[in-house]
Amino acid sequence: MSTGNTTRSDRAALYGYLVAFDKVDELLVAAAAVRDAGYTRWDAHTPFVIHGLDVAMGVKKTVLPYIVFLAGLTGAAAGILLQWWTNAVDYPFLISGKPLFSLPANIPVAFETTILFAAISALVGMLALNGLPQLSHPLFSNRSFKRVTDDRFFISIEAQDPLFEVAKTRELLESVSDQPVEEIEELS
């Protein structure tokens, strides 16, 4: 991957900058600053969910609920159709004079298939929207980034961002954190 930016240095391809924070407050202030500077291809990395961070980063609400809703509807339809087709059409089978197809008797199974489809779509949809699994990523080559799943908070800005400029972006990050700004190289 090569960046088309004019301000790129000619060393090994740069993925972006990474800067660490020790405290939640610092991260929130910094995230709001990066957001207000207009960056779009950047991220915050935290060991756990920080609830104000979505606002501070300006993350748009995910479409996941709609996917799950549609999957749930599909599951309900699949459950009803399965029961109707198997018990009333393909092998109509009279048991104790009960109707071949009656909704009340078919609700429990339709309910379960609704939940099943919706739940699977919630997990698979979350992973797909997040682009996971992705085992290999430039950030993983940074040693201090290993603490992101432990007790450290990070902000990364990608070189691919249209506003990215080597000096200016570094300056912005240095202004919000007292820790050194690190360069992350693209995977070779």
**Residues 159, 41: Cα–Cα separation, whole Å:** 8
Q: How far is the CB of 163 from another protein (least distance, A)?
A: 17
Q: How far is the CB of 7 from another protein (least distance, A)?
A: 25
**140 near another protein (CB under 8 A):** yes
Q: How far is the CB of 42 from another protein (least distance, A)?
A: 9
**139 near another protein (CB under 8 A):** yes
Q: Contact region for another protein (CB under 8 A) — 2-10, 13-21, 145-153, 159-167?
A: 145-153
Q: Contact region for another protein (CB under 8 A) — 11-19, 86-94, 157-165, 166-174?
A: 86-94
Q: How far is the CB of 34 from another protein (least distance, A)?
A: 11
Residues 20-49 that bind another protein (CB under 8 A): 23-25, 28-29, 31-32, 35-36, 43-49
**53 near another protein (CB under 8 A):** yes
